[in-house]
Structure 1
């Protein structure tokens, strides 16, 4: 079993939320820097977006094979269960695809001049690949690995085998042709978390399902009366940036 799922999916997501930039949760501005390639401005990753399309969404960045990979991967990172919606139901693929058209995904807010040399972890991200490149090269490399190893692309594998592949990527145990396996996995996992917990205006967290599951109040103006109530459930439900309620 890969390391990323915990016995409780809710436990996994509660622990993961600490790693999601604050701007991802309620759409607040977050300053981006090269040591944290997961945060930016306006939206979680720099997107100023209108109300997202829902039914029949067609990807703008990913082609058909890449789109199938993204669905198959995020479905295993956050699967649907009795505790709440999965990444597919929450609209995470749409969120990731839309982020690929932002300054964040183009690396516009990063220092992207050489030399590019991998150093100690404390130096942060050092590769010359921006998020768009990580996805394009990473997906192709993982599909090539799966075809060679299992005679099928990643999306055609059964759930258990997909978990095995994702676990190997997380540990850096797969030698991908164009991108470090653990770097690609980290990018995918971080964006999946962001899409699951973002404000719905950015395409993910559909119907605020992620917020409802963990008891996050969303973009409410004031909930200070409940901040120090030692784990008591917030009684009023979340509110989105647009003022929508559930």
Structure 2
């Protein structure tokens, strides 16, 4: 009986904590559906504990990509979409590739809550992408194509190209000039760009926005418990951002 009571308490504690993640996290682009499930599964299987013992957070470990070369392409492409500059760090330093990787490993990457039956016709600008491919398959196809175009045009892998060369290839995808199977290159680019921006500004609990640097560039306070002691102030106040948990790189 004591063991059963303990298990119930732990389950309830885990449920309340994870529910807090959902309530406080960004909603959009599949952030909640794609990441909460993946992170909860990893924690229940002991991945989180193992990572902490090794001194490396599970948030900075690929869950979907098993090929380091393909993951490197994702890192390089997201960095060109959101590069570092005088305003602050870029996608690479912010861990955006891990955010996207974790999204692809979850329900967002598998279109778990979406209708995926045909027929598939080109949609309007106000519709989602029209393709029989799931998002993780779209990324597989698109990233392999980025590497292939780089090899064919420059005889180098995409991450090894100069920034301007990478930009030219990404622009050709954006302009729908590259033929892909099952999805348009423009659709892949649009999903990649949207996921990159999400990774910059999502709560660090989801793998990106390391040390809340994305928020700091926008002076965004994050998830504050309350503003009761500040809301009546007539002066602008700079508030130290607060994440869903105290994860730092």
**TM-score (ref. length: structure 2):** 0.74
Deviations 1:8-62 (A, max 9, x none): xxxxxxxxxxxxxxx999515x3x7xxxxx2353666764445785499442322
* C-alpha distance in 1 between matches for 2:214 and 2:31: 21
For 1:212, the equivalent position in structure 2 comes to 216
* C-alpha distance in 2 between matches for 1:114 and 1:56: 35
Instruction: Compare 176-185 and 91-100 and name the one that shifted more.
Output: 176-185
**Does residue 98 of the first structure (1) align with residue 102 of the second (2)?**
yes
Corresponding residue SS for 1:88: helix
8 Å contact from structure 1 (residues 142, 176) kept in 2: no
8 Å contact from structure 1 (residues 44, 198) kept in 2: no
8 Å contact from structure 2 (residues 138, 188) kept in 1: yes
Match of 1:76 among 58, 80, 84: 80
For 2:64, the equivalent position in structure 1 comes to 61
8 Å contact from structure 2 (residues 34, 102) kept in 1: no
Map 1:45-194 → 2, pairs under 5 A:
47-49=38-40, 53-54=56-57, 57-62=60-65, 63-194=67-198
* C-alpha distance in 2 between matches for 1:99 and 1:56: 12
* C-alpha distance in 2 between matches for 1:115 and 1:147: 34
Q: How many residues align?
A: 214
Instruction: Compare 117-126 and 154-163 and name the one that shifted more.
Output: 117-126
* C-alpha distance in 2 between matches for 1:139 and 1:112: 22
Deviations 1:127-181 (A, max 9, x none): 1111100111111122112222222221121111001111221122333355311
- Tell me which protein shows more helix as a share of its residues: 2
* C-alpha distance in 2 between matches for 1:60 and 1:43: 12
For 2:32, the equivalent position in structure 1 comes to 41
* C-alpha distance in 2 between matches for 1:215 and 1:185: 28
Change (3 A) 1:42 1:112: closer
Change (3 A) 1:163 1:228: farther
Extract unaligned runs of 5+ from structure 2. Answer: 1-20
**TM-score (ref. length: structure 1):** 0.75
- Structure whose CA Rg is larger: 2
What is the root-mean-square deviation of aligned Cα atoms in Å? 3.1
* C-alpha distance in 2 between matches for 1:86 and 1:106: 27
**More contact order relative to length (CA 8 Å, sep ≥ 6):** 1
Deviations 1:55-98 (A, max 9, x none): 99442322122111011111111112221111111111111111
